[in-house]
Chain A
Amino acid sequence: MSGLLIKNAFVIDPISGVKGEIMDIAICDGKIVEEAPRDAEIIDAKGHLTLPGGIDSHSHVCGTKVNFGRYMSPEDMRAGRTARKGVMHVTSGYSVPTTFGNSYRYSTMGYTTVLEGAMAPLEARHTHEEFTATPHQDMLANTLFDGNWSVMEAVREKDVKRAAAVVAWTLSAVKGFAIKLTNPGGTEAWGWGRDMSTIHDVVPNFEVTPAEIIGTMIRANELLNLPHSVHLHCNNLGVPGNYRTTLDTISLVPDLNKDRQSLYLTHVQFHSYGGTTWRDICSKSEDITRTINSTPHVVMDMGQIMFGRTTTMTADGPMEFKLYMLHHNKWSNHDVELETGSGIIPVYYSRKSLVNCVMWAIGLELALLTKNPWQCLLSTDSPNGAPFIKYPEIIGLLMSRRFRENERKMIDPRTEHFVPLFAIDRELEWYDIAVMTRAGQAKALGITRIGKGYLTPGAEADVAIYPIKPGEIDPSVEYQQVVAGFSRTLYTIKRGRVVARDGEVVVEGANSTIWSKSNVPAEYDMGSDPEFTRKFEQYYTVRMRNYPVQEVYLPRGKMIASEAFL
């Protein structure tokens, strides 16, 4: 038995209803327990802020698309280099670091679980190999179904059960965690030279609309009883006036699950633009948050952008093409047969660009105007809005009006005419931040069932202790201390073991990959469905038997099983 006792911790644990109490946390064999073993090692937290390990519910850190970002930007790989030190491998890269770079940087910020936002099923092996090399975080993979031919055929036939069956087979074959729809139908349509401008446009050859795909998949997801809801990157990302598409989409969502949301909207900042062109683009965060506030069964994440250099990467190929036409810099475009696509370009978000300043303000507004912090989670869609190492700065901005005012002096002065940000007085509290960076994610992803996101007995012992004494600092004034504090933990504890200390990684780490398996009745097993297998063998360039990811790719796989209602 290995034990650990954290004494005098200032704990905020929203899921357990702890809102800032000095208490001890006992750990035994990787779990939180009532009482620590007698020989337990003791850590004195000295009243420092202690939270469940951070959870990122949308980030791009592993997989073919991320790797392409690495090799198309050697100049990015030359930035952010760190030398080998103790157990730490060499790392490099700033916006798209090496896997160890991602893992160490997340770990020193107190993050212990990360969801990869988009895994193309056909390319799942690569993602899982990189997961194994991200040793300090438990990893989950959103699996792309936005242009899946079998799914779209089922949607056309209005056969929710068949759509669910395709999802169940695919998730279990590629060891994915949840359904991700990226610009549903849009990438497929673009592959045929069409552009979709609303969710009611028809995808060529399939005669289905994005609205039908979204609606069917939400229902299929609940039929499969999956831990997470459908995870949606709305249509029309980055297009002025796209807030209408976003509102249209929210209006489609039925409330089907009593434990969590029925739809997760990702990087909503990129989907909250008013105006008609880049010249008159303005913030529609008020319209979006008003709807979110009255739609408790929808959860979103911010997709905040931060000024500076980064790389954008998404399965939304057409959107990246539009960005390329704007920047004329390097661009990668990729088609994944019968499933999805992707695009990548490097970008620079500038304080001198009015458009970028408006985008920056919108992200913050979404978080400040959403009344319930459980409904707006902190993210940058890393690295699309900014690399995740910017999270602490975002926390600072959300907690301090003064910080926002200081930024206002440095950005394009016209910004205030296009955004409501500077009229908002709200400053978030420690509790809100704890919800928006771990508890909210755990609940939205449905992983509290495996002990994630809280600190009461039975939970996984993932803990982050930050060098912040909440009673002694005023975040609205001393925001720089907040930023510094959230940038490096005193201790990051993963499964009961100290993995990082004072910004340095101290162990090799051994993570697990969490995936979902929904058990379907035999007649819904696509593995023996004649129609599905025939089309698979006919259209894919791989044989169906070679498609599933073998167990060897998940050395520490952790399956969440569920029973489908089919």
Chain B
Amino acid sequence: MRVILKTRPRAKPKIPIEAEEIIPQNFLRKNDIRVYEGNKERALDDLFFVTYEGPAVSPDQVEIVLTGDTGVIKRVGEYMNAGRIIIEGDIGMHCGNFMSAGEILIRGNADAWLGREMRGGHILCEGNSGHYCAAGYRGEKRGMRGGIVEVRGNSGDFTAEYLSGGEVIIHGDCGDLPGVEMRGGTLVIGGDCSRPCGNMTGGTCMIFGEAHKFLPTFRKNGTDDIVYAGKHYLMNLFRGDVANRGKGTLMVRQ
């Protein structure tokens, strides 16, 4: 089944929409789905033109397509556990919170907290992502625990903060402090970043661009010739963060 949600024109288009109920399992039985516009509760129909195409017997056969002015919609895919969500444009904060399985494809940019504390599944963002991509929310000691988040563009600050499992791949640049407090999993940064992996205790981070303001609390551990995505790279190897008795691995391309 394909569900197409096209945003309706709104009188005040800047008011954010909170839509944690937009997940495939909720459309299977065509539940009464409620969303919030600011602090007002609305029916899905009030804010979207909804079209259903074809049948589905299980949530993994449900595909949701979001189009229109989607950049203000928050929490899409929260606790999603099956199926597929395709966002034709940008998406608001907290997309894919806690998701455990299924797939989210974002053709535009994602705002902050993309894949926050995600446990499994796959998120692909073809544009850029905001701050705290694949991180833990305020105060949380574990960020993403499993699954894959892939961003084709750049990512903001604090990417993969508290990462403890799964894989985060940023093809472009990251902002400040990617992989800070990381304790497991893998973070791959295709471009540049600054101050990577402060306080890391575990996991692996690979940086193929330049690491600016490199922290002095990482111990050089030789070099290694690695194969990533079918290509050879010579990497400088570091262990740390020694300030935190960390046993993480940080690799930076020579």
How far apart are the CA atoms of A72 and B141 in the complex, in Å?
12
How far apart are the CA atoms of A75 and B162 in the complex, in Å?
14
Q: Is the CB of A74 within 8 A of B139?
A: yes
How far apart are the CA atoms of A74 and B137 in the complex, in Å?
9
For B140, the chain A residues whose CB sits under 8 A away are: 75
How far apart are the CA atoms of A181 and B108 in the complex, in Å?
60
The reply to whether the CB of B12 lies closer than 8 angstroms to some CB of chain A is no
The reply to whether the CB of A329 lies closer than 8 angstroms to some CB of chain B is yes
Contact with A along B137-159 (1 / 0, CB 8 A): 11111000000000000000000
The reply to whether the CB of A76 lies closer than 8 angstroms to some CB of chain B is yes
Q: Is the CB of A76 within 8 A of B141?
A: no
How far apart are the CA atoms of A75 and B141 in the complex, in Å?
9
Which residues A66-84 have CB closer than 8 A to chain B?
72-78
For A75, the chain B residues whose CB sits under 8 A away are: 137-140
Q: Is the CB of B141 within 8 A of A329?
A: yes
For A76, the chain B residues whose CB sits under 8 A away are: 139
> Taking each of B137, B139, B140, B141, which has the highest tally of chain A beta carbons within 10 Å of its own beta carbon?
B139
The smallest beta-carbon distance between B244 and chain A, in angstroms, is 9
How far apart are the CA atoms of A74 and B138 in the complex, in Å?
6
How far apart are the CA atoms of A206 and B20 in the complex, in Å?
60
How far apart are the CA atoms of A72 and B140 in the complex, in Å?
11
Which residues B112-154 have CB closer than 8 A to chain A?
137-141
For A72, the chain B residues whose CB sits under 8 A away are: 139
Q: Is the CB of B141 within 8 A of A73?
A: no
The smallest beta-carbon distance between A461 and chain B, in angstroms, is 39
Q: Which residue of B lies closest to A329 (CB)?
A: B141
The smallest beta-carbon distance between A313 and chain B, in angstroms, is 16
How far apart are the CA atoms of A77 and B141 in the complex, in Å?
15
Q: Which residue of A lies closest to B136 (CB)?
A: A75
Interface size class of B (residues with CB under 8 A): under 10
How far apart are the CA atoms of A77 and B139 in the complex, in Å?
10
For B137, the chain A residues whose CB sits under 8 A away are: 74-75, 78
The smallest beta-carbon distance between B119 and chain A, in angstroms, is 17
For A77, the chain B residues whose CB sits under 8 A away are: 139
Interface size class of A (residues with CB under 8 A): under 10
Which residues B5-58 have CB closer than 8 A to chain A?
none
Contact with B along A271-285 (1 / 0, CB 8 A): 000000000000000
Q: Which residue of B lies closest to A77 (CB)?
A: B139
For A78, the chain B residues whose CB sits under 8 A away are: 137, 139
Q: Which residue of B lies closest to A76 (CB)?
A: B139
The smallest beta-carbon distance between B142 and chain A, in angstroms, is 10
How far apart are the CA atoms of A73 and B139 in the complex, in Å?
6
How far apart are the CA atoms of A271 and B69 in the complex, in Å?
61
How far apart are the CA atoms of A72 and B138 in the complex, in Å?
9
For A329, the chain B residues whose CB sits under 8 A away are: 141
How far apart are the CA atoms of A75 and B116 in the complex, in Å?
14
Q: Which residue of A lies closest to B138 (CB)?
A: A74
For B141, the chain A residues whose CB sits under 8 A away are: 329
> Taking each of A73, A75, A76, which has the highest tally of chain B beta carbons within 10 Å of its own beta carbon?
A75
The smallest beta-carbon distance between A118 and chain B, in angstroms, is 24
The smallest beta-carbon distance between B144 and chain A, in angstroms, is 16
Q: Which residue of B lies closest to A71 (CB)?
A: B139
For A74, the chain B residues whose CB sits under 8 A away are: 137-139
How far apart are the CA atoms of A78 and B137 in the complex, in Å?
10
How far apart are the CA atoms of A97 and B159 in the complex, in Å?
30
How far apart are the CA atoms of A274 and B245 in the complex, in Å?
32
For A73, the chain B residues whose CB sits under 8 A away are: 139
How far apart are the CA atoms of A443 and B139 in the complex, in Å?
41
For B138, the chain A residues whose CB sits under 8 A away are: 74-75
The smallest beta-carbon distance between A212 and chain B, in angstroms, is 41
How far apart are the CA atoms of A76 and B141 in the complex, in Å?
12
The smallest beta-carbon distance between B141 and chain A, in angstroms, is 7
The smallest beta-carbon distance between A309 and chain B, in angstroms, is 12
The smallest beta-carbon distance between B134 and chain A, in angstroms, is 18
The smallest beta-carbon distance between B1 and chain A, in angstroms, is 33
The smallest beta-carbon distance between A325 and chain B, in angstroms, is 13
Which residues A59-103 have CB closer than 8 A to chain B?
72-78
How far apart are the CA atoms of A76 and B140 in the complex, in Å?
9
The smallest beta-carbon distance between A371 and chain B, in angstroms, is 44
The smallest beta-carbon distance between B113 and chain A, in angstroms, is 13
Q: Which residue of A lies closest to B141 (CB)?
A: A329
Q: Which residue of A lies closest to B140 (CB)?
A: A75
How far apart are the CA atoms of A73 and B138 in the complex, in Å?
8
How far apart are the CA atoms of A73 and B137 in the complex, in Å?
11
How far apart are the CA atoms of A133 and B225 in the complex, in Å?
63
How far apart are the CA atoms of A77 and B137 in the complex, in Å?
12
Q: Which residue of B lies closest to A73 (CB)?
A: B139
Q: Which residue of A lies closest to B201 (CB)?
A: A328
The smallest beta-carbon distance between A83 and chain B, in angstroms, is 11
Q: Which residue of A lies closest to B245 (CB)?
A: A328
The smallest beta-carbon distance between A328 and chain B, in angstroms, is 9
The smallest beta-carbon distance between B131 and chain A, in angstroms, is 16
Contact with B along A37-79 (1 / 0, CB 8 A): 0000000000000000000000000000000000011111110
The smallest beta-carbon distance between A150 and chain B, in angstroms, is 39
For B139, the chain A residues whose CB sits under 8 A away are: 72-78
How far apart are the CA atoms of A75 and B140 in the complex, in Å?
6
Contact with B along A313-347 (1 / 0, CB 8 A): 00000000000000001000000000000000000
How far apart are the CA atoms of A548 and B138 in the complex, in Å?
37
Which residues B68-103 have CB closer than 8 A to chain A?
none
How far apart are the CA atoms of A31 and B12 in the complex, in Å?
55
The smallest beta-carbon distance between B195 and chain A, in angstroms, is 21
The smallest beta-carbon distance between B239 and chain A, in angstroms, is 19
How far apart are the CA atoms of A74 and B139 in the complex, in Å?
5
How far apart are the CA atoms of A73 and B141 in the complex, in Å?
11
The smallest beta-carbon distance between B247 and chain A, in angstroms, is 14
The smallest beta-carbon distance between B40 and chain A, in angstroms, is 14
The smallest beta-carbon distance between B94 and chain A, in angstroms, is 13
Q: Which residue of B lies closest to A72 (CB)?
A: B139
How far apart are the CA atoms of A187 and B138 in the complex, in Å?
31
The smallest beta-carbon distance between A348 and chain B, in angstroms, is 11
The smallest beta-carbon distance between B201 and chain A, in angstroms, is 10
Besides the contacts A72-B139, A74-B137, A78-B137, what 11 more A-B pairs have beta carbons closer than 8 Å? A73-B139, A74-B138, A74-B139, A75-B137, A75-B138, A75-B139, A75-B140, A76-B139, A77-B139, A78-B139, A329-B141
Q: Which residues of A contact B (CB under 8 A)?
A: 72-78, 329
A-B contact pairs, 14 of them (CB 8 A): A72-B139, A73-B139, A74-B137, A74-B138, A74-B139, A75-B137, A75-B138, A75-B139, A75-B140, A76-B139, A77-B139, A78-B137, A78-B139, A329-B141
Report, nearest first, the 6 A-B pairs whose CB atoms are least far apart: A75-B139, A74-B139, A74-B138, A75-B140, A73-B139, A75-B138
Q: Which residues of B contact A (CB under 8 A)?
A: 137-141
